[in-house]
Amino acid sequence: MRIKLLALMVSAVAFIATSAHAGHHGTKSAVVPEITQTAVMTGLENPWDVALLDDGTMFYTEKCKGFSVRMPNGDVHALYGMKDSSGYASMGSDLHCSNQAGMLGLAVDPDFAKNRRIYVASASTKYHGDGCKTNFERCDGNIVMRFEVSKNFKSVSARTDIVKDIQFKPFESNHPFGGNGAHNGNRPTFGPEGWLWITTGDRHRGVCPQSPTLICGKVLRIDTDGNAHPGNNPPKGFDKRIYTYGHRNVQGIAFRGDGAAFTAEHGPWHNDELTMLVKGGNGGWDPQQNVGGRGDCPDEYCGYMPNQKKGVIPAIRAAYMPMSDTRFGDLMPPAWQNNGYSQGTSSIDFLQGKQWGMYEGRAVVGIMGIAFGGTPAGMRLDVYDVAQDGQSIKSVIHLPVETKRYRGVTMGPDGAIYANTDEGEIYKITAK
Amino acid sequence: MKSLFLSFFTLLITMHASSATSGDIAAGEARYGVNCFICHGQKGKGMASYPKLAGKPVAYLVDKLETYRAGTRIGPNSDLMIMNAEPLSDEEIANLAAYLSNVKSN
């Protein structure tokens, strides 16, 4: 399937925005690129993340199956499966999926040509130990694994679990979307300096995001053995692997041309956010009960309150349960917030290359949104012109692509975006 | 007498089968396209944590939609489904069930 769409609908907005936009080199393109969308793969089961090598070799995960690699000639090798999967070269019986959880993000080592390493995040039962007996205790149920890929790309070996204690929600709770396995984050990405960044979610546990020791609602910066970056600077008493804390469910992280890290964070009923990270900073999400003016909450988690199962004016919800609570002195204010809507920001990357015209250097973000309670559906890719200081945006446009639930966006080495959808496709989106 | 009994029995089965699939498939597809597809995917194939509906029996689909419409919680995404099922008429439920049961599951 191949469609070709001209971005006429955004030209006017784009032209206006161009007049205020400064490019990396002080020059600005006024060209609105022509966008082409081509399906690279179809018929997959919930592809969650994609990572590419320079020659176009593409690794991808399927949430309840495992991870595979598509070679430049189109051949596919199923590499490492989860419990009850079949057809994979090898498998891990501890890896499982449930609701939002499963095999999610993956990243390729910047030095892959020499070390053949890739990194994959998944739900796992291997490190439950004495925990995970209730929703109100520690549950080490999400992990990050390191593998070595064989030279013929037909198998992986040397599985090493480099992060073993990302928190997992073991049971259903009394909340909207309250199934087990909620809010995992789990998008590993390499930063420009070669360190591995891991996003995590609050797993519907109120104490998680502000906890100094539980790895949930955090962004980690570690080496490829799982050790903390020595330059991380979390507050005193915090786990040294923590780069930022106070997050809800960070499914997207990417780095701007100047190295600044940005997250795309899936919000509660009333918001979503894009945030420029500050070392040691606080995202401001604190869904604990009996703090911030709140009383008791269902299952000790206030994340959907007040009146969590009925419609409430978004501003009232935002005041009661803010996504970025200004009572925190170390708050990282969002560059963008969704103004009363929650439409499911899933992933982010920055557009690179002159072919993107006036969009070069801007952030492309997957918006999944299912439309409920008066909120319009998402199912699109948006392009944000983020201010240099990361405190606001200058403009946002809808990229002219098919209406899909875009789970992941990855800038490819060929200058195209690779976008995977919950419907089961991986698209190549090009500009010229 | 025996043949008369068999004919009557056959008629009963036919009537039951007819009532179970009496929804309008085209109308069900149109209604599905209003908002159901946003969670359950194109042609009810399911995605993310939202289950596959394609190929499910009519009786199953009708039962689930009527249960949600009545405001009964039967799973972690019940609040969302109750919200979406409450406005559905009997005819719309029958149409949706007819459409989804008719979609091939693979």
What whole-number distance in Å separates Cα of residue A363 and Cα of residue A175? 32
pTM for the whole structure: 0.89
- With a cut of 70, say whether residue B26 has pLDDT above it: yes
Percent of chain B with pLDDT over 70: 78
- With a cut of 70, say whether residue B10 has pLDDT above it: no
Residue B20 exposed, middle or buried by CB count within 10 Å (0-12, 13-18, 19+): middle
- Whether the CB-CB separation of A253 and A195 falls below 8 Å is answered with no
Number of domains in chain B: 1
- Give yes or no for B75 touching A (CB within 8 A): yes
What is the residue whose two structure tokens read 């990243």? A107
| Helix residue ranges, H only, A90-232 | 112-115
> Could you list the residue range(s) of the whole structural domain that residue B50 is in?
2-102
- With a cut of 80, say whether residue B12 has pLDDT above it: no
- Give yes or no for B34 touching A (CB within 8 A): no
pLDDT of residue A93: 98
What whole-number distance in Å separates Cα of residue A243 and Cα of residue A246? 11
Residue A143 exposed, middle or buried by CB count within 10 Å (0-12, 13-18, 19+): buried
Residue B18 exposed, middle or buried by CB count within 10 Å (0-12, 13-18, 19+): exposed
Q: What is the DSSP string of A367-380?
A: E-----TTPPP--E
Tell me which residue in B39, B79, B84 faces A176 most closely, judged by beta carbons: B79
Distance from CA of A52 to the nearest CA of B (A): 23
Cβ B83–A372 below 8 Å, yes or no?
A: yes
pLDDT tens for the 432 residues of chain A, in order: 444 444 444 443 343 344 344 444 456 788 999 999 999 999 999 999 999 999 999 999 999 999 999 999 999 999 999 999 999 999 999 999 999 999 999 999 999 999 999 999 999 999 999 999 999 999 999 999 999 999 999 999 999 999 999 999 999 999 988 999 999 999 999 999 999 999 999 999 999 999 999 999 999 999 999 999 999 999 999 999 999 999 999 999 999 999 999 999 999 888 999 999 999 999 999 999 999 999 999 999 999 999 888 878 889 999 999 999 999 999 999 999 998 888 889 999 999 999 999 999 999 999 998 777 677 788 999 999 999 999 999 999 999 999 999 999 999 999 999 999 999 999 999 999
Q: Write down the ipTM of this complex.
A: 0.71
Residue A357 tokens read as 């015209």
- Whether the CB-CB separation of A85 and A73 falls below 8 Å is answered with no
What whole-number distance in Å separates Cα of residue A171 and Cα of residue A167? 13
- Give yes or no for A366 touching B (CB within 8 A): no
pLDDT tier, B2 (very low <50, low <70, confident <90, very high otherwise)? low
What whole-number distance in Å separates Cα of residue A229 and Cα of residue A193? 11
Walk across the sheet containing A393-398 and list its strands. Answer: A345-350, A363-367, A380-386, A393-398
- How many CA atoms are closer than 13 Å to the CA of A137, on its beta-carbon side? 7
What is the residue whose two structure tokens read 């070392």? A279
Q: Residue type at A131?
A: G
- Give yes or no for A174 touching B (CB within 8 A): no
Tell me which residue in B39, B75, B79 faces A370 most closely, judged by beta carbons: B39
Cβ A99–B76 below 8 Å, yes or no?
A: yes
Residues in chain A closer than 8 A to B48 (CB atoms):
46, 63, 100, 368, 405, 407, 422
Task: Name the residue among A251, A243, A313 with its Cα closest to residue A278.
Answer: A243
What whole-number distance in Å separates Cα of residue B19 and Cα of residue B16? 5
Task: Check whether the bond before A230 is cis (ω within 30° of 0).
Answer: no
Q: Which residue has the higher pLDDT, B22 or A283?
A: A283
Cβ A379–B38 below 8 Å, yes or no?
A: yes
pLDDT of residue B16: 44
- Domains of chain A listed by start with CATH number: 2-431 (2.120.10.30)
pLDDT of residue A417: 98
Coil, strand, or helix at residue A275? strand
Residues in chain B closer than 8 A to A424 (CB atoms):
45, 47
Nearest CA in chain A to B46: A423
- Best mutation target among A64, A103, A309, A346 (most B Cβ atoms within 10 Å) is A309
The residues pairing with A90 across neighbouring beta strands, listed in sequence order, are: A80
The 8-class DSSP code of residue A9 comes to G
Residues in chain A closer than 8 A to B45 (CB atoms):
423-424
What whole-number distance in Å separates Cα of residue A10 and Cα of residue A116? 42
pLDDT of residue A377: 80
What is the residue whose two structure tokens read 């179809």? A42
Which CATH number goes with the domain that contains B36? 1.10.760.10
The residues pairing with A345 across neighbouring beta strands, listed in sequence order, are: A367
Tell me which residue in B47, B49, B79 faces A423 most closely, judged by beta carbons: B47
Residues in chain B closer than 8 A to A44 (CB atoms):
none
What whole-number distance in Å separates Cα of residue A296 and Cα of residue A230? 39
Distance from CA of A308 to the nearest CA of B (A): 10
